[in-house]
Amino acid sequence: MDIWPPKEPGETVAYPIDWRNELGWNAGIGGNVGFCSDNIDTYTLTLTSGDAVIGVGQNNCNLITTLISGGTSGVTSTFLNTIITVNGQILTREITLLVQDDAVPYAPSTATKRLVIDMAYDEVRLAVPEFQINPNELNTQLTKLDMLMDEWAVSGIYLGYNAPSIPGDGNLEDPIGIPNAALHSVALYLALRISPAFGKALSAETKAAMALGMSNLYGMSAHIPKMRLPRTTPLGQGNRWMFLNNFPFASGRDGCC
């Protein structure tokens, strides 16, 4: 069961349901375009308990995003998401959401991807104002950032990153979407990726901060909508594959890029 972060009754929030891990997501290591071995053909989302309201949803490359509004303070709503894939799989996932007055807003960072890349450069002692970086180099680091976030998401660290459909296909000024508390740690690990190209080695202090940051990232991702275990996980270890029919879902149909 997935747990969405709580929201206030008056809020309308876009919540994600990420199926990429179950559908064989390959992040495209080495500059290749990321892809899944299977894709969502149709999906449904229904309210099974509680009184939150399901709004408009869309599927973007096996990442479903749906608007949720309303609900009564103190009441937990439960949702059932069912997908039918191009290859004929029928998979389900249950999700819970607590509606609560004075809930901490589910508001991702509005910092840009450029800011995190600048922080990474600074960590390898390449201060952006002093070290002239051409646009091609910045776009290369943007691709590395996209791929780093894809790899982390597959390994269980899902931070709500604003990922493009193709690594590197976004914009440096796009909002990054991750919590503010994760910005520094992400910048440190991006610095680790870009430092060899400049013949730089990270300091012992930076490596110690990375270890602490990774522990904090796992804690943060536990409170952000995250992926279930891979489809290859043996049954009995949290992995379920259920076939459900004849349910009065409000259906939606979307293709994958």
Residue type, 218: Y
Top CATH class, 113-221: mainly alpha
Backbone angles phi, psi at 137, to 5 degrees: -65, -40
197 vs 39, higher pLDDT: 39
Q: Where, residue-wise, is CATH 1.10.3230.20 in the chain?
A: 113-221
Per residue in 22-67, pLDDT (tens digit) is 888 775 544 445 677 899 999 999 999 999 999 999 898 888 989 9
Per residue in 87-97, pLDDT (tens digit) is 999 999 999 99
Instruction: Give residue 44's region: left, alpha or beta (phi > 0; psi -120 to 50).
Output: beta
| CATH match of 2-105+227-253 with 3.40.50.620 | no
What is the Cβ-side half-sphere exposure of residue 47, based on CA atoms within 13 angstroms? 16
Q: Where, residue-wise, is CATH 2.60.40.10 in the chain?
A: 2-105+227-253
Q: Is the pLDDT of residue 242 over 80?
A: no
37 vs 236, higher pLDDT: 37
Backbone angles phi, psi at 79, to 5 degrees: -125, 155
Which residue shows structure tokens 């997908």? 83
Q: What is the mean predicted confidence (pLDDT) over 74-100? A: 94
